[in-house]
Structures are given as C-alpha cells and as structure tokens.
Amino acid sequence: MFTAVGVRYARALMEVVTAPEMAINPAKALEELRAIDEMIGESEDLHNVLLSPAVSVPRKRAVLARLLKPFGASQAVRNFLFVVIDHRRIDGLPSMIEAFEALLDERLGLVRADVSSARLLTDAQKGSLEAELSRLSGKRAKLTFVIDPSLIAGVVARIGSKVYDGSVKGQLEKLRVKLTAGQ
C-alpha cells in the first residue's frame, strides 16, 4: 500500500507529466520509474549509496545521473528522482511508484481489482472475471491475481472495500454462520 508521502510525490509527478508542454506519456514515465526502481533494488551498493546520510546529495545525484544516461530516462523522471534524492525520500520510491500507477489508472478510468484463487486460472477464466468485474464496477477492471490455496476452490475479488466472495471457504463460512445462528 502506498503512503501519504508517496501520494504527495506521485501527484506532483502526475501534474508535471500531464502538463501540456511535456512530451512524455504518463505510462512511459511509469515504465521508466519501474525500471529505475528495479535497478536500485538489484544493486545493494547503489541502494546503500542512495540511502546513506554519509553520501552527499550532490554525489547521489551524480551517481544516479550517470546510471540514468544509458536508460534514456526522460527529463521529467530524472528531475523527479533528483527532487526525491534532495528531500532524502528515495526509500519511499516504491510507494511513490505505486501511488503514481493508481493515479494513472484513475485518470484512464480503470478500477483495480485483486483476485485470489485456489489455483492458477486459465486465460478464459481471467477474461470472464475481468468482464464481470468491469460490469459490476462500471469501469474497466485491471486485475491482479494471486493464488491462495486456503480458499479450497473458487475466487475472491476485492475492488476497494467491496469483496465478492465466490470461494468454497466463503460458502462454508456462510453455512457455519447459518447453522450456529439457529442454536
């Protein structure tokens, strides 16, 4: 889940990349941010340098600038990362990226849905779920799938605070509540 700080930075970046004079697509900015976050996560040394208070901000900027050159990162993303470094918030970058993605989804009219299933779903089942959740929400659903063997069978879908439980575990729990209510 993203933090309040992550949302604040994500909103600022969204304002920049959606400004009429900017030549970057917000989806491209998201792609660049993910790649940079992955690069930072894969290198313990880089991660430590960017987080260390012993390394000066100008040095951190120089290291990141050199690494971003081969990436071909846009000026907007590069400047955003420099601001994050300047304010010593690089540890919150994953939260900022997640919040930026949520803002982008909202802007595109998408609704996020988390789907848990007892086993791996087929493409046809995923498509059917996406269509049904889109119908229920009134927006195009963007699904994230996880496997939860404790469900026994079926699926549980969550859109915001709304939960659609079609699992055997959920059905058994409803039956248990009905049976114990009669006592």
For the chain, the structural domain boundaries read: 4-106, 111-181
Residue 146 amino acid letter: V
Q: Give the H/E segment covering residue 84.
A: helix 75-86
CATH class, domain 4-106, is mainly alpha
Helix (H, G, I), strand (E, B) or coil at 144: strand
Sign of CA dihedral 97, 101, 107, 112: negative
Read off the pLDDT of residues 106-150 as tens digits, 9 standing for 90 and up: 888 888 889 999 889 899 999 998 998 899 888 888 888 999 888
Could you tell me which residues are beta bridge partners of residue 112? 142
Residue 77, CA atoms < 13 Å, CB-side half-sphere = 26
Q: What is the pTM of this model?
A: 0.73
Report the C-alpha gap between 48 and 28 in whole angstroms. Answer: 27
